[in-house]
Amino acid sequence: MMSKMPLLRLQQVSRRFVMGEVTVQALKETSLEIYPGELLVILGPSGSGKSTLLNIIGGMDAPSTGDLFFAGENLSRANEARLTRYRREQVGFVFQFYNLISDLTARENVELAAHLVTDPLPVDEVLREVGLINRQHHFPSQLSGGEQQRVAIARAAVKKPQLLLCDEPTGALDQQTGRRILDLLSRINRRYGSTVVIVTHNTVIGRLAQRTVRMGSGSILEIAVNPSPLPPERIDW
Ligand code: ADP
Ligand code: MG
């Protein structure tokens, strides 16, 4: 895997937030390569820069300094139109609190995402994959947290994104439901070959990954290869 060309490469990327007199260095000069098809978990305590890093990877935020390459293309030099296309076509994003559209049904939320790309997966297939075909006509408010998160994953996965980025996807869920979400993410990784990046403060989730990145105070402290990733059902927290 490591000998392949990286799908994504961050080169000395930093991000500062300036608020009046105060500057927060959310991400110090950080370099990282993410390989096609891998499942990577980014770990670190709250405030360590995980979301900042993920937002930059997903083209939702721009680095203050440094470069971001996707399939060899320097996205930190790209214009807004190219970045929009990157977010729309190459990236699927899953948030801790789902961010579904409340007046669309589960199915309509997924269909809306499918319309954004030229070659989506069939909506029925994805709804079946996430186990929600029977709840497809329900609105988010009629679904449990775990079900809403599965809709959010279906919405991201239907685009067949090369990169599936998940920010604390199990953070609002109980352990059993969280495990089901992790199982779904690892199935999408294997079945569709999407590169999956999961950000979490929960270190045991790292046992699922092929590689883990540990962050602290805006820096990568360690990158570790996991020779035998565990299946989600064997992970306890
Ligand atoms: P994590 O996701 O690991 O909890 P974040 O990336 O959200 O950490 O935040 C890293 C640091 O950057 C924190 O100190 C946070 O307060 C700060 N930060 C993040 N986003 C912003 C923002 N939009 N404006 C100001 N400070 C921010
Ligand atoms: Mg965060």
Tell me, in angstroms, the distance from the centre of ligand 2 to residue 186's CA.
Answer: 21
Residue 113's pLDDT is 97
Tell me, in angstroms, the distance from the centre of ligand 2 to residue 89's CA.
Answer: 23
How far apart, in whole angstroms, are the C-alpha atoms of residue 206 and residue 128? 27
> Does the pLDDT at position 114 exceed 90?
yes
> For residue 214, which ligand has an atom nearest its CA?
1
pLDDT tens string 122-148: 999 999 999 999 999 999 999 999 999
> For residue 57, which ligand has an atom nearest its CA?
1
Q: Tokens 């895997």 belong to which residue? A: 1
Residue 4's pLDDT is 77
Tell me, in angstroms, the distance from the centre of ligand 2 to residue 169's CA.
Answer: 11
> Does the pLDDT at position 2 exceed 70?
no
How far apart, in whole angstroms, are the C-alpha atoms of residue 45 and residue 211? 18
At 138, list the tokens: 């329900």
Can you give the residue ranges of every domain in the chain? 36-65+84-234
Torsion of CA 142, 137, 193, 119, to 10 degrees: -140
> Does the pLDDT at position 78 exceed 80?
yes
Residue 3's pLDDT is 61
Tell me the CATH architecture of domain 36-65+84-234: 3-Layer(aba) Sandwich (3.40)
Residue 233's pLDDT is 87
Backbone phi, psi, residue 88, to 5°: -75, -40
Contact 13, 75 (CB under 8 A): no
The answer to whether the CB of 46 is under 6 A from ligand 1 is yes
Q: Which residue has a Cα nearest atom 17 of ligand 1? A: 26
> Does the pLDDT at position 1 exceed 60?
no
CA-CA distances (angstroms) from residue 110 to 59, 72, 100, 107, 208? 21, 30, 10, 5, 26
pLDDT tens string 184-219: 999 999 998 999 999 999 999 999 999 999 999 999
